[in-house]
Amino acid sequence: MFRSGFLVRASHTLLTWVITLILFLHNTDLRRCEERGELLLPALFFLLVVLSVLLYFAVSLMDPGFVLSDTAQGVQASSEEMESMIPQSSPRLRRCGYCLLQQPMRAKHCQTCKRCVRRFDHHCPWIENCVGERNHRWFVVYLLVQLLALLWALHIALSGISPGATWELWFRANGFLLAALGVVGVFSVVVVLLLGCHLYLVSINSTTWEFMSWHRISYLKNCRDEENPFDRGIFCNLWDFFCICRTVVWEQVYQRNTPNPV
């Protein structure tokens, strides 16, 4: 936390609370609600911001699903026991060329974290952590909560824009709100795009890495573009992603859903 990711996390937290403070101090809907003694909406907005910050730290500090060793890959089995669980006709476990550990299917070595990650999605510089099997669902939940907070902040900032006799006076009166509006607007677009992309990939049971490198991945390159060996349908994919909290032996799923496995 106090190494490479400290500056990113501190900057994100500081920016979040600076913008929140601007929205509370200017003559916005929040400030007017406080003046009238109506504290429900300000309290809900504050709690939403707190929740988004807590989720941000949870996702950024969580183990994304690192492959720890050949004998501890989330199922506490030896290398021989692990391979015995995998059908003989499915692709074999391969050794990572960097950390020399056996990689389960859908795992990938992250050059930034210098670790192999189960069901690797991508390394996110925003959280300075990988998104993998253990924290992917929480990353999506965080994006949803963050989007709600950003859209609400956008509405609050717009409600505080006041008129001015001249452009100079208008900019002086609304300068901080305009800056907050710009930052919130940019982040809203980014989060909408990220959330949309991740929900689509989750609905087809794919990852960012698999989607971008389909024809270079050994267990996918011989499948046609419309054939995803891990796809169980939209509703089952969403249920598995958000509700099943266990390590999945993807080799078994691959074997069941692939008529002619590699």
Known catalytic residues are: 124
CB 156 within 8 A of CB 23: yes
Q: Find the helix or strand (DSSP H, E) in which 95 lies.
A: strand 94-95
H, E, C per residue of 126-171:
CCCEEECCCCHHHHHHHHHHHHHHHHHHHHHHHHCCCCCCCHHHHH
- Residue 101 tokens, joined: 């550990």
CA dihedral 229, 230, 232, 235 (to 10 degrees): -150
- Residue 245 tokens, joined: 């909290």
Q: Find the helix or strand (DSSP H, E) in which 43 lies.
A: helix 40-61
* Calpha distance 141→145 (Å, rounded): 6
CB 66 within 8 A of CB 173: no
User: Could you tell me which residues come within 8 angstroms of residue 67 by beta carbon, excluding any fewer than 6 positions away?
Assistant: 73, 96, 99, 101, 102, 103, 104, 107, 115, 116, 117, 118
Torsional class of 128: left (φ above 0), alpha (ψ -120 to 50), beta (otherwise): left
Distances (CA, A) of 89 to 79, 80, 86, 92: 18, 16, 8, 8
